[in-house]
């Protein structure tokens, strides 16, 4: 149960408490040159896990670059990049147990790669081909993997937040030795689901880590036009949730914060909120043009805080990585991604009938009727149902 034992304090003079009275420090470990801040402490990390994190950084950079180009070529219909937020995603993912549930928003494919999602699985999902785990039912980049404890992504903003609170409460009821982490942006923190989810988790003391990537923009709306208070972190305190703010471009700081959050969530069976201060270097999505609402100078300023470069410099300072290693890894992933695109884009689409299968043991009559109506519609107007890369449905 929540500790409500604090004694109330009283006063005899009307006094307003300003919302900025609570000042949140930002945890930092790693400086831009790859050295540690004075008195900063390393999180638990060894060479193997450090290099695994970096491999996922490079993979994600290459995947983002190549698949955004593929979208521009009309080979896939949609894409969203993680560029600039790799540390916020991977630092958190690396702090988790493999069986902890991840409920992502849509920019956390780096975490899925870290868990072991293969390049072929990424491609099959984006091309919605016959090998896609979701059978082509989702938009590109809306991944999901039951085997890797990665809940399938929903397009509506913020819906995963109350779901994460409920899932974590279920873990608690079952006595599991795991937590749930829920990623979302600061824009989603303006949704009603954010408040419902945090309140539910706090009241029921669910072992969930709410991870807010504060990347500066909700599509085109800058952070200063989204909220009047000091970011998202104070809201956690308002709901009685333990909260920490961290430099979201600092891989080691995010790792340290999430390791602490997981330990507390598990041992005390309670929610924790992390606010990672970062910046979305890319566009919101392949349908967005950020030049209409922010300057190149602003973007360049944040490129100087590149989380991947900062982390690479730290790896090199440990003697664990070199420039030649780096060049070789980038080349390897570029070749593998291009080859995987060529394979995935020519595979056939799932049969249309899979729209109504694998939910019920027997397809209900009304769904069978709707399927026939869809088939008739597609056959009558095939020009409106052409799939990406020229493939046909049916």
Count of beta carbons in the 10 Å neighbourhood of residue 20: 10
Catalytic residue among 262, 280, 305, 310: 280
Active site residue 280: yes
Catalytic residue among 72, 293, 303, 386: 293
Q: From CA 392, how far away is CA 202, in angstroms rounded?
A: 49
Q: From CA 177, how far away is CA 266, in angstroms rounded?
A: 7
Rounded to a whole number of angstroms, the distance between the first and last alpha carbons of the chain is: 54
What's the order of all strands across the beta sheet hosting 272-277? 26-27, 242-247, 272-277, 208-214, 180-185, 101-103
What pLDDT score was predicted for residue 20?
80
Written as one string, the DSSP assignment of 260-318 is HHHHHHHHHT--EEEEEE----S-SSTT--GGGTS-HHHHHHHHTT-HHHHHHHHHHHT
What pLDDT score was predicted for residue 243?
98
pLDDT digits (tens, 9 = 90+) for 305-317: 999 999 999 999 9
pTM of the model: 0.94
* Residue 182 contacts residue 146 (beta carbons within 8 Å): no
Task: Specify the fold of 47-285+294-346.
Answer: Rossmann fold (3.40.50)
SS3 135: coil
Catalytic residue among 109, 113, 115, 284: 284
DSSP letter (8 states) at residue 386: B
Q: Is 216 left (phi over 0), alpha (psi -120 to 50) or beta?
A: left
CA 48-49-54 angle, 5° bins: 100
What pLDDT score was predicted for residue 55?
98
* Residue 345 contacts residue 71 (beta carbons within 8 Å): no
pLDDT digits (tens, 9 = 90+) for 238-249: 999 999 999 999
What pLDDT score was predicted for residue 1?
46
SS3 145: strand
- Residue 131 structure tokens: 């090998």
Written as one string, the DSSP assignment of 193-242 is HHHHHHHHHHHHT--EEEEEEE-SEETTEEGGGT-SSSSSHHHHHHTT-E
Active site residue 293: yes
- Residue 19 structure tokens: 């919302």
Active site residue 333: no
HSE, side-chain direction, 13 A CA sphere, residue 213 = 30
H or E segment and range at residue 243: strand 242-247
Query: Across-strand partners of 150?
Result: 102, 145
Q: Which residues of the chain have pLDDT under 50?
A: 1-2, 389-390, 393
């Amino acid at each position: 149960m929540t500790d409500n034992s604090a004694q109330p304090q009283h006063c005899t003079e009307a006094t307003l408490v300003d919302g900025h009275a609570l000042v949140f420090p930002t945890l930092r470990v790693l400086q831009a040159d790859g050295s540690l801040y004075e008195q900063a402490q390393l999180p638990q990390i060894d060479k193997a896990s450090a290099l695994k994190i970096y491999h996922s950084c490079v993979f994600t950079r290459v995947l983002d670059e190549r698949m955004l180009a593929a979208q521009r070529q009309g080979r896939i219909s949609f894409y969203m990049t993680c560029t600039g937020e790799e540390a916020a995603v991977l630092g958190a993912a690396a702090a988790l147990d493999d069986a902890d549930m991840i409920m992502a928003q849509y920019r956390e494919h780096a975490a899925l790669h870290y868990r072991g999602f293969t390049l072929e699985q990424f491609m099959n999902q984006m091309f919605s081909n016959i090998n896609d785990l979701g059978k082509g039912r989702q938009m590109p980049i809306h991944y999901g993997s039951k085997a890797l404890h990665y809940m399938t992504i929903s397009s509506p903003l913020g819906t995963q937040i109350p779901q994460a609170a409920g899932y974590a409460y279920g873990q608690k009821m079952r006595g599991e030795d795991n937590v749930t982490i829920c990623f979302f942006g600061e824009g989603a923190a303006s949704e009603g689901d954010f408040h419902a989810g945090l309140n539910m988790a706090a009241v029921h003391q669910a072992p969930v880590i709410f991870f807010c990537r504060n990347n500066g923009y909700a599509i085109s709306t800058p952070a200063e036009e989204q909220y009047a208070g000091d970011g998202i972190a104070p809201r956690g305190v308002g709901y009685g949730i333990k909260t920490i703010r961290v430099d979201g471009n600092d891989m080691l700081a995010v790792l340290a914060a999430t390791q602490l959050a997981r330990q507390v969530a598990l041992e005390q069976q309670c929610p924790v909120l992390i606010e990672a201060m970062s910046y979305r270097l890319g566009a919101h999505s392949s349908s967005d043009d950020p030049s209409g609402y922010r300057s190149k100078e602003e973007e360049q300023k944040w490129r100087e805080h590149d989380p991947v470069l900062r982390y690479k410099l730290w790896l090199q300072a440990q003697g664990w990585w070199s420039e030649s290693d780096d060049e070789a890894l980038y080349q390897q992933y570029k070749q593998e991604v291009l080859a995987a695109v060529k394979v995935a884009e020519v595979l056939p689409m799932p049969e249309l009938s899979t729209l109504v299968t694998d939910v019920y043991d027997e397809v209900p009559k009304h769904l069978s009727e709707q399927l026939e109506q869809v088939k008739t519609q597609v056959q009558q107007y095939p020009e409106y149902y052409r799939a990406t890369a020229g493939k046909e449905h049916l």
